[in-house]
Amino acid sequence: MESPPSTNDRLSRPTTSNVLETQEQHFLGASLILTNEEKIVNSHIMKLKRFELEEGFKNDFDLIPARHFFEKLEQLNSSKLFQLIRRIPKGAVLHIHDSSMGSTDLLINATYRPYLWQNGRFEQNTPPTFLFSKTNPTGMGWELVSDIRNEMKADIYDEKLRDLFEIYTKDPINTYRSTNVVFEKFRQIFYTLAPIINYKPVWRQYYYDSLKVYYDDQINYLELRGVLPDVYDLTGKIYTPEEIVQIYLNETERLMKNYPSFLGAKFVYTPARFGGDDVFRGVINTFKSLHEKFPNFVAGFDLVGQEDKRILLLNFVPDLLKLPESIQFFFHAGETNWFGMESDSNMIDAILLGTKRIGHGFALIKHPLLLEEIKQKQICIEINPTSNQMFKLMEDHRNHPAAFLFADDYPVVVSSDDRCFWRAALLSHDFYMAFVGIASAQHDLRLLKQLAINSIRFSAMDKIDQNKALRKWEGMWNSTMSTLASDILSGKLA
């Protein structure tokens, strides 16, 4: 039987402060050294963070990250810490979807275009159907949107549209009682939106306006995922995938011409993971053609769709292995709470296929061997905090598994997924949740800075363009730090 430790043994052990200090040296961003101006900003931002955490520690029912996003949205938007985070340049956006990258207002504005028809009213059990057409579409019940809007009054009609285009509700807990319910509403939004957003003039303008919104928020580069749907015009023409990508490229170049500091965008082809072998082989052929024609714009391949529907990445491996090695994978994987069920294997197959990034990776922490691979191979995890809460993977951001990734300097970025559908800001809401809810109370400005650096470092840009983007971001960051430090010292920023 071992003897109890002596007093000298106990005294020679590390103290709590020693352990905490050593632990903090492993934090994401811990190696960064702050300038004097950054230290001033850091002191202020940590004061705001500690205040919110202390108030939440007294009553965690009032802690913003602990409650559903919809319940605390008004309080969040008025938070001084959130307002400060909005001003900080956040680098690039690496995980967004094309049809939800803009805003609901942009979508509603699109319904003011002429020749938009509607079949069905809002009070019916199924959502109305929309279509742009010069003449009344075939079938009963079609009415011009302009006529319905005039009848109902514009503000009332537009609010009905907003309810259709968003999953927002004042009672999220009872409205969305399971992940499947959320996904069903999600699919319904896409189905309803498709005939509106897939109309070529809307498609083109929505994409350009969305890029401009990101640019205005000091985001100079983004990578969007898209399914390349049937884009159409009033002549009845259905545009090919090549023509759709060309529209993207044209609008990207138009913004770069109008705003030279914008560094551009890349496209990740992300078809649905549903469909038979013949359908998927057609998808693969389409992607190969796009990659050959637009090698600098079509950055990679992904698959989208609810993983818990048991359509596994493994099913597509034989065809994926036939793609050229020059093609990069950015797979959605691990967006599940199930441990050991079929959908839990997608992360394994994504890594075995050589994915460069993993979208969500929520289940990653349950797989120690995969964690080792992630760190060794520097496979970036695209964390989407607000999205994960929306789809009920967790209710309280303090329980988000990315806390472990932040604590041990894993390769991660923070992004916003389908943020338009739940009224989230471009990146600021997700950065706030990461900083206050997921990260340690001791994580400071260095975390936010490292997340921004990572968003460029793990992008699909080549090294030359990455270095160019990093220099551009550093200029924005330093300028912002100088302004914020001045505002803090002068008392303008309380």
Q: Give the active site residues.
A: 335, 360
Closest Cα partner for 249 from 271, 265, 233?
265
CB within 8 Å of 187: residues ≥ 6 apart:
none
Q: Which two tokens stand for residue 163?
A: 């309810």
Report residue 113: phi and psi, to 5°.
-70, 150
**Contact call for residues 298 and 267 (beta carbons, < 8 A):** yes
Q: What angle is formed at CA 397 by the lines to CA 392 and CA 400, rounded to 5 degrees?
A: 80
Task: Report the C-alpha gap between 230 and 309 in whole angstroms.
Answer: 25
Residue 478: exposure state from Cβ atoms within 10 A (0-12, 13-18, ≥19):
middle
Closest Cα partner for 455 from 107, 273, 223?
223
Q: Which two tokens stand for residue 346?
A: 């997608």
**Contact call for residues 322 and 284 (beta carbons, < 8 A):** yes
First CA to last CA across the chain, in angstroms? 61
The residue to which tokens 């997924």 are assigned = 417
CB within 8 Å of 44: residues ≥ 6 apart:
84, 484, 488, 493
Q: Which two tokens stand for residue 453?
A: 């650096």
Task: Report the C-alpha gap between 306 and 320 in whole angstroms.
Answer: 19
Task: Report the C-alpha gap between 95 and 86 in whole angstroms.
Answer: 19
Residue 124: exposure state from Cβ atoms within 10 A (0-12, 13-18, ≥19):
exposed
Helix axes 145-152, 154-165, angle to 10 degrees: 120
Closest Cα partner for 400 from 418, 381, 425?
381
- Scanning 4-103, the segments in alpha helix (DSSP H) are 7-12, 16-24, 36-58, 69-77, 80-87
Task: Report the C-alpha gap between 108 and 98 in whole angstroms.
Answer: 16
Task: Report the C-alpha gap between 479 and 382 in whole angstroms.
Answer: 27
* β-pair type (116-119, 298-301): unpaired
The residue to which tokens 């009845």 are assigned = 236
